[in-house]
Structure 1
Amino acid sequence: MNSELMPIYGPFFGVMGSASAMVFSALGAAYGTAKSGTGIAAMAVMRPELIMKSIIPVVMAGIIAIYGLVVAALIANKLKEGGDDSNGGLGGGYKLYHGFLHLGAGLSVGLSGLAAGFAIGVVGDAGVRGTAQQPRLFVGMILILIFAEVLGLYGLIVALVLSTKTG
């Protein structure tokens, strides 16, 4: 194998992909949880019986972090030491191509999770406050939250396709 295809810095991109998947999706989940949580706290002052019903946005925000965790673990399991195998067997044969694929996969799920977490937070905050005043808004809030969650799922699907590519 050619050392240009397996440089020593190749795994750096894979590690950055794994870290990006976890960090950005966790940031999105944290924002969604915090923003929805403030809405739940404000709503619970007047309607404490609706607290458990209003936890749904927080749960959906937490799922976003799970998407990032799955992809980060998949990428981390495929990481090998970089370098050429012909130099005394020191290298593990991790291609630069795989490093870029893993970086793309991590950024895909991470940034999609960040966007989904922001959307879930904003919708969850306004939705639980509105549901406290008009209970018929609950179904609409859930539908909008599902559409926001799907943004993170799209990033997960693309990340899974990218991270399982061989070549």
Structure 2
Amino acid sequence: MVDLVENLTFDINNLTNATNSTSGEFLARFYYPPNPSAPPYAPFFGFMGCTAAQVFTVLGAAYGTAKSAVGISQMAVTRPELIMKSIIPVIMAGIIAIYGLVVAMVIKGKIGGENYTLYAGFSHMAAGLTCGLCGLGAGFAIGIVGDAGVRGTAQQPRLFVGMILILIFSEMNWSVLAVWPVGPNRSNDILNLF
């Protein structure tokens, strides 16, 4: 145990000596940043928010597209004239990925500089996760509704309007609207999203 404490003390002394040399400058900036609330690793969390927003919304869009396409394929066997009318769930599923891209680009535009704080990084990560997971849920909803709705529309054409309304409320920009309260800049300016 004494050896462990002596080695730890030796390592701390070496780290302190390394801060005075040029080779240890990066190490010193990492462990002792000039602004403790804005360490050099803070942008990592912001970029993880960008990644989460894009990845999860694309997964939701892919699931919604695949599930809706299965319903369209089965419906097309009996009613091929309804194929183009039934593409709407696939289009709406693809729009979810665009929401994720927009949120990721807005977050990416806010990342950077030496004054990028951990608070901003965590806020951007939370915003990205919120957008991504809402988009994933919306993709699941659109896929299930699109599959069942398209098959039902083939049997009863009056179901089409109801299916479209359910699809609209399934998507409804939840992935973008849910991000507003999460971002670090809480002002009344609507254009300053995050």
Q: 2:134 aligns with which of 112, 124, 142?
A: 112
Displacement after TM superposition at 1:147 (Å): 1.3
Q: 2:41 aligns with which of 1, 4, 9?
A: 9
> Are 1:74 and 1:163, in contact at CA under 8 Å, matched by a contact in 2?
no
Structure 2 runs not aligned, ≥5 long: 1-32, 188-194
Q: 2:124 aligns with which of 95, 102, 112?
A: 102
Within the alignment, does 1:32 sit opposite 2:52 as a pair? no
Match of 1:158 in 2: 178
What is the alpha-carbon distance in structure 1 between the residues aligned to residue 121 and residue 112 of structure 2?
10
What is the alpha-carbon distance in structure 1 between the residues aligned to residue 62 and residue 115 of structure 2?
37
> Are 2:64 and 2:93, in contact at CA under 8 Å, matched by a contact in 1?
yes
Within the alignment, does 1:131 sit opposite 2:145 as a pair? no
SS in structure 2 at match of 1:76? helix
Code of the residue aligned with 1:43 in structure 2: it is M
Q: Percent identity?
A: 63
Structure 1 runs not aligned, ≥5 long: 82-91
Q: 2:53 aligns with which of 16, 21, 25?
A: 21
Match of 2:167 in 1: 145
Displacement after TM superposition at 1:166 (Å): 6.2
- After superposition, residues 42-81 of structure 1 pair within 5 angstroms as 42-81=74-113
> Are 1:75 and 1:163, in contact at CA under 8 Å, matched by a contact in 2?
no
Displacement after TM superposition at 1:160 (Å): 4.3
Displacement after TM superposition at 1:80 (Å): 1.0
TM-score (norm 2): 0.75
Displacement after TM superposition at 1:2 (Å): 6.1
What is the alpha-carbon distance in structure 1 between the residues aligned to residue 174 and residue 62 of structure 2?
19
TM-score (norm 1): 0.87
What is the alpha-carbon distance in structure 1 between the residues aligned to residue 145 and residue 155 of structure 2?
15
SS in structure 2 at match of 1:63? helix
Q: Which protein is richer in helix relative to its size?
A: 1
Match of 2:8 in 1: none
Larger radius of gyration: 2
**Deviation readout 1:100-148 (Å, 9 max, x if unpaired):** 1101110111000000000000000000011001111111111111111
RMSD: 1.8
Number of paired residues? 155
